[in-house]
Amino acid sequence: MKVILDMDPGHDDALAILLVLAHPELEVVAITCCAGNAPLHRTVMNARVVLEVVGHQDVPVAKGLPAPLLRPLQTAPEVHGATGLDGPVPPEPSVPPVGEHAVRLLARLLLESDETVTLIPTGPLTNIAAALRMHPRISSNIERIVLMGGAVGEGNVTPSAEFNIWVDPEAAAVVFEAGVPITMVGLDVTHQALLYDRDLECIRRMGTRVSTFACELLEFYSRFHRGRYGWEVGPVHDACAVAEVLRPGIVQTRDMYVAVETSGVHTRGRTVCDVLGVTGERANAAVGLAIDRDAFVELLLEALASYR
């Protein structure tokens, strides 16, 4: 199965990369980077750092759009640090990003592919929206979009909105209205898949370069979540989206109509999920409501243990 990751590494994006690359049944055709957790130049560097750590420098990394479609960029240094990947001392990446712009690369790879491609966006949807608008024909070659973003219930940036959607609501609206199959892996799911100290200890005991890198990421990442929520480590949001692609059904979903609020003062970036079907609108997304946490943690820890 061909996949393209569009992401804003970011600690949980990094874990998502480690998870997907431990599974050769998924061919990571490219990693396209967007701005979100950190500015674009940092997310591109961070994606390359993770690939260097796991020895997959062969995966093309492309630079995308540096800011949301219509709004100034808002980043999350309080969660991910100034570099966007604080914690580990990063290796110097040995391979530069590709010269092709991420939006162009996304479109070209989709149009040239002889089979459908699954998109796994785990950051703001700026690049995906731009690609859909500039090259509408790509829709027919997208198997599905399994995105980490949104929430049926509470938000994490505001009471209404989850970060990825909140950063670029207009882009999210384009994606949800594009008519492409979407699986929305939102906070209702990821907050059920928290990692705890015992999980971190399991990873620490693996004693490899990759497991040590993952531990250093999670130790830094846990500081924010311990302080904000009292959680031991926290939700590896983006790895949940990868897990759904690896094990379809690990996330329990319900088809429903989702609209994205782009103009609300208190509700900017909310994924308004029509749980009860009151709008009469046709469902445009399979919305995640729960996850098999044990299966998810087993999948993640097995992946980390597979690196030697």
Single residue of 97, 123, 186, 269 touching Ca ion by CB under 5 A: 123
- What three-state secondary structure class fits 34? coil
Nearer to ligand RIB, 36 or 60 (CB): 36
6 binds, among Ca ion, ligand RIB, none (CB under 5 to 8 A by kind): none
Q: Which amino acid is at 1?
A: M
By the rule CB under 5 A, 64 interacts with Ca ion? no
Counting Cβ atoms within 10 Å, is residue 197 exposed (0-12), middle (13-18) or buried (19+)?
Answer: exposed
162 binds, among ligand RIB, Ca ion, none (CB under 5 to 8 A by kind): ligand RIB
Binding-site size, Ca ion (CB under 5 A): 6
Beta strands in 11-95 (DSSP E): 27-33, 61-63
* C-beta separation of 84 from 15 below 8 A: no
- Identify which range of 8-16, 94-102, 134-142, 211-219 contacts Ca ion by CB under 5 A: 8-16
Residues at the interface with ligand RIB (CB under 6 A): 8, 10, 12-13, 36-37, 122-123, 148, 156, 162-164, 237-238
Single residue of 3, 4, 11, 13 touching Ca ion by CB under 5 A: 13
Q: Which amino acid is at 287?
A: V
* Identified catalytic residue from 11, 23, 191, 237: 237
d(CA 183, CA 24): 22
Nearer to ligand RIB, 38 or 117 (CB): 38
Give the nearest distance from C-beta 186 to ligand RIB in angstroms. 9
Give the nearest distance from C-beta 17 to Ca ion in angstroms. 11
Single residue of 32, 75, 122, 284 touching Ca ion by CB under 5 A: 122
Nearer to ligand RIB, 161 or 256 (CB): 161
Whether 237 is catalytic: yes
By the rule CB under 5 A, 162 interacts with Ca ion? no
Strand (E) or helix (H) holding 211: helix 209-229
Nearer to ligand RIB, 122 or 271 (CB): 122
The token duo for 57 is: 């420098």
Beta strands in 150-297 (DSSP E): 182-185, 194-195, 234-235, 251-256, 258-260, 271-273, 285-291
Residues across the chain: 308
In the window 199-258, what residues touch Ca ion (CB under 5 A)?
238
Give the nearest distance from C-beta 8 to ligand RIB in angstroms. 5
| CA distances to 164, 186, 235, 306 from 252, in Å | 21, 12, 17, 27
Residue nearest to ligand RIB (CB): 163
Counting Cβ atoms within 10 Å, is residue 66 exposed (0-12), middle (13-18) or buried (19+)?
Answer: middle
Q: Quick one: how far is CA 7 from the chain centroid?
A: 5
Active-site residue numbers?
237
